[in-house]
């Protein structure tokens, strides 16, 4: 079986973002970039499925600027077999990413496509679901457990109120939640080996996907600042403030 894993290059999750002064977006110059944390979990899950003998080959794809190859190399160092970079300087929207991934998944005859449940920059939580729709296959979103059994995969999902388990017919799309696994660290020899692994470069036009979008970002602003609060000295003072000043209890 083959697995396709999609990874996105995003601002590192620890970085405090700065909105540009002209309100055109977030300032990404000279900021630390990483693999989107949910995608790292998707890579780890694919590697574990390979180690369990379920999967034979793991292909990693990323759609974005040329620097995204760093994130593909990072995934290769974690155990993926080869990479595909779909290079574009346009901002890729989920529907376009899903269309490109659909072509790749079909060309490569992937049985399982793993994605993160959302990218921590756009917070969309859309791409996996859109890909499943375009391919006409089942989806296991927000997965916290994945079990492949024959031509089916059982996915336990994190839903409001608890957990839900579904059985999907392969091929299927799975999007990962944080609790699915704990990604490993890449060891130096593996990082060196990853440099020799195959990485193909493509363009959106190779897949016939138009990157023009019907969504336009009018402006990006920082969220409203909260007024600085006060320090209270005792529980009594806290209770008094909540009762008489904030009037919330």
Partner 1 sequence: MAILVYAEHDNASLKKATLNTIAAAKQMGDDIHVLVAGSGNQAVADEAAKAEGVTKVLLADNAVYEHQMAENIALLVADIAGGSTDYSHIIAPGTTTGKNFMPRAAALLDVSMLSEITAVIDAQTFDRPIYAGNATATVKTTEDKIVLTVRTTAFDPVAAEGGSASIETIDNVQDSGKSSFVNEEMAKSDRPELTSAGIVVSGGRALANGENFTKYIEPLADKLGAAVGASRAAVDAGYVPNDMQVGQTGKIVAPDLYIAAGISGAIQHLAGMKDSKVIVAINNDPEAPIASVADYFLEADLFDALPELTSKI
27 vs 11: CA distance, rounded Å: 10
Q: Which of residues 83-102 bind partner 1 (CB under 8 A)?
A: 93-95, 98
Question: Which positions from 32 to 71 touch partner 1 by CB under 8 A, shown as an x/- string?
Answer: ----------------------------------------
Binding positions for partner 1, 157-186, rule CB under 8 A: 157-169, 172, 177-179
Interaction of residue 236 with partner 1, rule CB under 8 A: yes
What is the smallest separation between the CB atom of 51 and partner 1, expressed in angstroms?
Answer: 23
CB neighbour list of residue 184: distance below 8 Å, 6 or more residues apart? 44, 47, 78
- The least distance separating partner 1 from the CB of residue 37, rounded to whole angstroms, comes to 9
Classify residue 153 as exposed, middle or buried by CB count within 10 Å of its CB (0-12, 13-18, 19+).
buried
53 or 162: CB nearest partner 1: 162
Residue 64: name the closest of 92, 44, 37, 22 by CA. 92
Residue 248 binds partner 1 (CB under 8 A): yes
Measured from the CB of residue 16, what is the shortest distance to partner 1 in angstroms? 7
Q: CB-wise, 79 or 171, nearer to partner 1?
A: 171
> Rounded to the nearest 5 degrees, what angle is found at the Cα of 53, between the Cα atoms of 68 and 118?
35
Rounded CA-CA distance 49/43 in Å is 10
Residue list 101-130, contact with partner 1 (CB under 8 A): 117-118, 120-130
Rounded Cα distance, 195 and 183, in Å: 20
Comparison of 30 and 234: residue with beta carbon closer to partner 1: 234
């Amino acid at each position: 079986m083959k697995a396709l894993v999609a990874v996105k290059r995003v601002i590192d999750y620890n970085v405090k973002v700065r909105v540009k002064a002209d309100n055109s977006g977030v300032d990404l110059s000279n900021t630390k970039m990483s693999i989107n944390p949910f995608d790292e979990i998707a890579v780890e899950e694919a590697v574990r499925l390979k180690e369990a003998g379920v999967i034979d080959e793991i292909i990693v794809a990323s759609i974005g600027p040329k620097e995204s190859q760093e994130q593909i190399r990072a995934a290769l160092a974690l155990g993926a077999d080869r990479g595909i970079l779909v290079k574009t300087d346009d901002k890729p929207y989920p529907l376009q990413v899903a269309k490109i991934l659909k072509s790749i998944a079909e060309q490569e005859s992937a049985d399982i496509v793993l994605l993160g449940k959302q990218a921590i920059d756009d917070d969309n939580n859309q791409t996996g679901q859109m890909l499943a729709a375009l391919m006409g296959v089942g989806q296991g979103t927000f997965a916290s457990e994945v079990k492949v059994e024959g031509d089916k995969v059982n996915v336990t999902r994190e839903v409001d109120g608890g957990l839900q388990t579904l059985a999907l017919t392969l091929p299927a799309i799975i999007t990962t939640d944080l609790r699915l696994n704990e990604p490993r660290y890449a060891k130096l020899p593996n990082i060196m080996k990853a440099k020799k692994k195959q990485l193909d470069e493509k363009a959106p036009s190779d897949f016939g996907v138009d990157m023009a979008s019907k969504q336009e970002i009018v402006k990006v602003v920082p969220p409203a600042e909260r007024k600085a609060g006060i320090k209270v000295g005792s529980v009594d003072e806290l209770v008094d403030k909540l009762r008489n000043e904030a009037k919330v209890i």
